Amino acid sequence: MGHRARPDRRPTAPAPPVPGALLRSVRLLVEHARGLDVVQQARGLRAFWEVEGGVAISSAAVEIQDAGRRRDPQQALSA
């Protein structure tokens, strides 16, 4: 059997704000684990914390882990 061509699955429009923020927060966890400096992007998601708890959990984790890398307990407390 031959391989069938898969349709292009790229989104044609940006994700709605809240689901988009949730996806970005998880992406930031992965990027942070890879050693990238994404803490400012994580802080930018704070506006969604009260709307979607998953964003708060993921982006706060990035901020706290970054504080641990920097050995900065005050930064961890501000997350």
Q: How far apart are CA 59 and CA 47, in angstroms?
A: 11
At 64 the pLDDT is 94
Per-residue pLDDT tens over the stretch 51-65 = 999 999 999 999 999
Q: How far apart are CA 58 and CA 11, in angstroms?
A: 23
Which of these, 15, 22, 40, 19, lies nearest to 62 by C-alpha position? 40
Pair of tokens at residue 60: 């706060």
Per-residue pLDDT tens over the stretch 4-48 = 666 667 767 888 999 999 999 999 999 999 999 999 999 999 999
Q: How far apart are CA 61 and CA 69, in angstroms?
A: 12
